[in-house]
Structure 1
């Protein structure tokens, strides 16, 4: 595993699998010499993990004792491959919207042959999805019958544009911390004019946020009154 993290000075790392044991209770790794930025490679044991899906968590601690947010990476432990055996090839793929129907119950996607890996582009029909926010999910199965983790992407279904029309321009942007106050109730950010696309750097005050972990969320609204993710 290779990772890059920043802090005042990185003193140590800790990692754990699946469940967070609490700050300082993971498996400790001493950081190499650094001035707040460090790239390091580790070999982490998985000896006691059962076959199946797991998650690896990783976080760092600086020289003042403050821990970073953790990074989480899912992975799968399979039965040991014997002799000249290789990883089973792909045999099927499926997709679904919003709610997981269960492995094998999604809508099938074509895979040519049984390749060891596939790079495919699919045109997925939206069917009768209602206007609003949705997610599309895709997963694959190998020739041993084992399904992989699924990949999820959110998207928004809008009303059809009139013939020859274009997407409405951006009218406003808002942000909020931690809890969503509802569309239009966040703190406004300045948008110059009504651009069709925007690349902007904002300075956002933290106000009276308490010490600890927080989330910052940003969304935009177009001139038709529709809010983004």
Structure 2
């Protein structure tokens, strides 16, 4: 858009035509004053003498060799584009001869917007003939540009835009290097956090060779020393250009395999649910066994399915047995309460005295003896 009422500089035009006499050598004989009888103007392009837009004198009459032209009512064409233009004015004398056009530079102001865009690669097909691009809110969207047909090497990529007045701007060049189609050359994995070394545990190609742009991987994730719980496995691949691809992740859970587990406890002296530690738990007639921890817990794994007699032995309790059927599929959870022996031999007491003699004087006080007996029975921890 532009201001059609823009004020233009008033022209004071002096029209003097020099009469020439024709002879063998184009000689100027004298200068003659003429009367101005007409005036016209045009913008940028000369339509030819007499074909411009007529102008009127300020005194309403062309009757002298010096005239002031009224430019106050001059109107610019509605289709005049934003930017710089030239206004030309010329006058005619009484003999119908037009003088030279006098010009004045002026500027039409306004806002241009992008209405179209296109791109081409390497060779220009001509303005408006290239591949169109989408315009979103005055911005050129290049996300859908197809580069699949580009040749390996440097490709010259050009973008140009057209404004709201239909004018195409110059094409801007960008160089795009197309590398040979890469293949995968390596893959690795890591668990939960990226290693500080920047390298995960290597994976192998499933077919033994990294030679394609897609590959299946194989590897071993050792969970033997991992705590029970949920973890995240991350896998990534590297191509022949030494570029790492997107990291893919998947959660997994570390669980115990099918097993027999349980807790060994007792009720003694009015105290309930006291843990029995260091009890030997075994499957009679097999080598499968475990020892209870401080909480009385045990786990037995890797035995074949079948019927078993589970036995618990502790120096301070009577042996305990229970028959179980192990299918090998689902864990078995047991709570086992062996009975307290209740009586101790002289040898037991001597062991207690040697073990629970905090003063190291080979004498056990009543308080120390009571403490020792409670510890043996599971009433107190050592």
TM-score of Structure 1 vs Structure 2, range by shorter chain: 0.3 to 0.5
Higher relative contact order (CA 8 A, sep 6+): 1
TM-score (norm 2): 0.22
Instruction: Find the structure with the greater CA-based Rg.
Output: 2
**Higher helix fraction (1 or 2):** 2
